[in-house]
A and B are shown apart, each in its own frame.
Chain A
């Protein structure tokens, strides 16, 4: 394989340096809008759809990066885009199921949903799995950034007379330090605005590269004719080769990946939660999937396609055996001038940084919400004021961000030995997403799904997944759709189908056994032995899990142990967890969205459709409650009633809701065109005096 070093000139490095400084200053400016942990993590639920849609571009493109799609484009052609065009199938589930559930239940993290829907133990297990997933994702981001920078750096450098080799892990560590510093002082509002800027720059840089590449080759028709027909097909071969085939990638990315990305990627969900309403979140998601992802597919993959054409026409310039993960940098350098190359590289690395910092921010949110707060609640005797708590949590969030960054760097070690980043990411997705994907999916869409089902699926599902890794030919083989097993990386993608099926089967079977489980545990309770029996069963299940996952026995025994274990675990859960099938599902499944809305609002929903109105504001001094008062006329125009929820924002649309506030309609008055707000609304809405405000009924 042909490896490159020292690509680029000092002009490119200067452009990159200035770009990074500009982005960091831009982010710091918006960092001042963080006043508490809610703003630090969620940006205060105030933004309009277009701002969030563009800010998602950098996150989506960064995570599904230039490097890996260019590598796949170089190896396989236009089919490298297929993972960008297969997210639509789950949109009905997302737009009308998961998104409203997450927003209306006001959960601050996915594990919190598991506690409300199932039990604290389900939350604990979901937290562990989710943190693994997020840290792994951060690791992939760091690995990609390191791979992008490495060809631009020398093979080694001399410092104080000693020669230091430039290694991938060294580059990753330096990048992690820069990322960690930025996110620690930024927060979600800063991330949203830097991503907005970077999303636009990224699209521009990607299309610029495509235009320069096609021009370099002599025009689009020459470029098109140069590529063989197989390379121009939008979907890969059904089951060949094992490193890149349609059916494996469909299950790994189209199913597990799409659900993982839309339903459990806290970085993305937090963006949707930062929109001013559920409907704005829907608009952002639809716009992103329909328009931004297809454009992003061209942006991220085109360097590989251009590279392939160059390798046919100029094999001395781009050898066909170039390391695929370096093709983006190699092509960008060939087709662009000094300085322009620096700009493209800056856009790429800054976008990757956006992805990583979004994920770090999201993981810190999970830490605060699902580990820090429960621990403080359990062990701290001191009662703090809201302000004190918030200050402490903000500090803890910043420390957590640093720790997560370090874990992300360490996780790079697990991925760096795959042939390409694409395969590393594919393996990661197929392995880590299925248990959570199944749990979230059944939790949100199947009322009957029980805590014993979810916990058995987490524990025994993971054990069966590990067993599948240990015996791929026997266990994953039956689902391989004709894919030939590569013994060094067996069933990188199609393992997702096996993993989903085992988790789903356990979850469904255990849930259907609920009556039997209840009868058994009821007998234990009646005889007063329930505590004793479950105390014995807990270590037994731990031993069974270890025997299965550490591959100590042979396959049939391990398989039997995993299945018996799922039954024992469900007995323990049924006996110990207090679960009310009505209380634990109300507003928490798609079947009770209306109830979720009522819980969110605190009263009956006013479904009448009203208009938006423009008003000037005055400060009320006599009333400090969280209410705003409009005139009778505006209340009528908005079809609003006292007690309904209202969203007020600065009328300047380009602000995208940055200056806005949510409140409740108070008693109306007679001054047409005036809204009375409190000093608190003025401060949190960041409103400017004499500016016109726009108001609309939220629900």
Chain B
């Protein structure tokens, strides 16, 4: 069985440190009004951005579990 250093630590680091950059980006975009949540189109874009983050998280988690247990 591969060690924690090869399985979940990279995953946690990727979505933890990467997540900090991602959330900072959202905060900057919303605070500056570049992503204006009063606009219908921009609300849609916010949902797309959050979906993308979860989508990649799911892909990595799925393949890690598949590699270990399938």
Residues of chain A whose beta carbon lies under 8 Å from any beta carbon of chain B: 78, 85-86, 88-93, 95-97, 100, 224, 229-230, 232-240, 246-247, 250, 254-255, 279, 282, 286, 289-290, 294, 445, 589-591, 593-594, 607, 609
The verdict on A290 contacting B64 (CB below 8 Å), with A93-B28, A93-B29, A593-B33 known, is no
**A129 and B69 alpha carbons, distance in the complex (Å):** 47
What DSSP secondary structure best describes chain B's contact surface? helix
Inter-chain contact A234/B33, CB cutoff 8 Å: no
Option from A85, A91, A233, A289 in Cβ contact (under 8 Å) with B67: A233
The verdict on A239 contacting B29 (CB below 8 Å), with A234-B60, A246-B10, A246-B13 known, is no
Contacts of A89 in B (CB 8 A): 18-19, 21-22, 25, 53
What DSSP secondary structure best describes chain A's contact surface? helix
The verdict on A289 contacting B52 (CB below 8 Å), with A92-B22, A92-B26, A254-B14 known, is yes
Contacts of B63 in A (CB 8 A): 78, 232-234
24 contacts between A and B (CB under 8 A): A89-B19, A89-B21, A90-B21, A90-B25, A91-B22, A92-B49, A93-B28, A96-B45, A97-B28, A229-B67, A234-B63, A235-B10, A236-B6, A237-B5, A238-B10, A238-B13, A239-B5, A246-B13, A247-B10, A250-B17, A250-B18, A286-B52, A290-B52, A294-B59
Inter-chain contact B66/A232, CB cutoff 8 Å: yes
Determine the residue in chain A with the shortest Cβ distance to B60. A234
Q: Which positions 4-56 of chain B face chain A at CB distance < 8 Å? A: 5-7, 9-11, 13-14, 17-19, 21-22, 25-26, 28-29, 32-35, 39-41, 45, 48-49, 52-53, 55-56
Inter-chain contact B59/A238, CB cutoff 8 Å: no
**A18 and B19 alpha carbons, distance in the complex (Å):** 47
Inter-chain contact B34/A254, CB cutoff 8 Å: no
The verdict on A96 contacting B29 (CB below 8 Å), with A232-B66, A290-B55 known, is yes
By size class, the interface of chain B is 35 or more
The verdict on A593 contacting B32 (CB below 8 Å), with A232-B67, A234-B59 known, is yes
Contacts of B59 in A (CB 8 A): 85, 234, 294
CB-CB nearest 4 A-B residue pairs: A92-B25, A232-B67, A235-B10, A96-B29
Option from B1, B21, B34, B41 in Cβ contact (under 8 Å) with A279: B41
Determine the residue in chain A with the shortest Cβ distance to B53. A88
**A282 and B18 alpha carbons, distance in the complex (Å):** 21
The residue among A100, A236, A247 with the most chain B CB atoms within 10 A of its own CB is: A247
Option from A91, A233, A445 in Cβ contact (under 8 Å) with B64: A233
Residues of chain B whose beta carbon lies under 8 Å from any beta carbon of chain A: 1-2, 5-7, 9-11, 13-14, 17-19, 21-22, 25-26, 28-29, 32-35, 39-41, 45, 48-49, 52-53, 55-56, 59-60, 63-64, 66-68, 70
Contacts of A247 in B (CB 8 A): 10, 13
Known A235-B64, A250-B10, A609-B40; 10 more pairs at CB < 8 Å: A88-B52, A91-B25, A96-B25, A96-B29, A233-B6, A234-B67, A237-B10, A239-B5, A590-B28, A594-B33
- Give min CB distance, A236 to chain B, whole Å: 7
Inter-chain contact A593/B34, CB cutoff 8 Å: yes
The verdict on A250 contacting B13 (CB below 8 Å), with A88-B56, A238-B6, A590-B32 known, is yes
- Give min CB distance, B23 to chain A, whole Å: 9
Inter-chain contact A230/B32, CB cutoff 8 Å: no
**A238 and B16 alpha carbons, distance in the complex (Å):** 14
Inter-chain contact A95/B49, CB cutoff 8 Å: yes
Contacts of B41 in A (CB 8 A): 279, 609
Contacts of B52 in A (CB 8 A): 88, 91, 286, 289-290
Inter-chain contact A235/B25, CB cutoff 8 Å: no
Inter-chain contact A229/B1, CB cutoff 8 Å: yes
The verdict on A85 contacting B35 (CB below 8 Å), with A97-B28, A247-B10, A282-B45 known, is no
Contacts of A282 in B (CB 8 A): 45
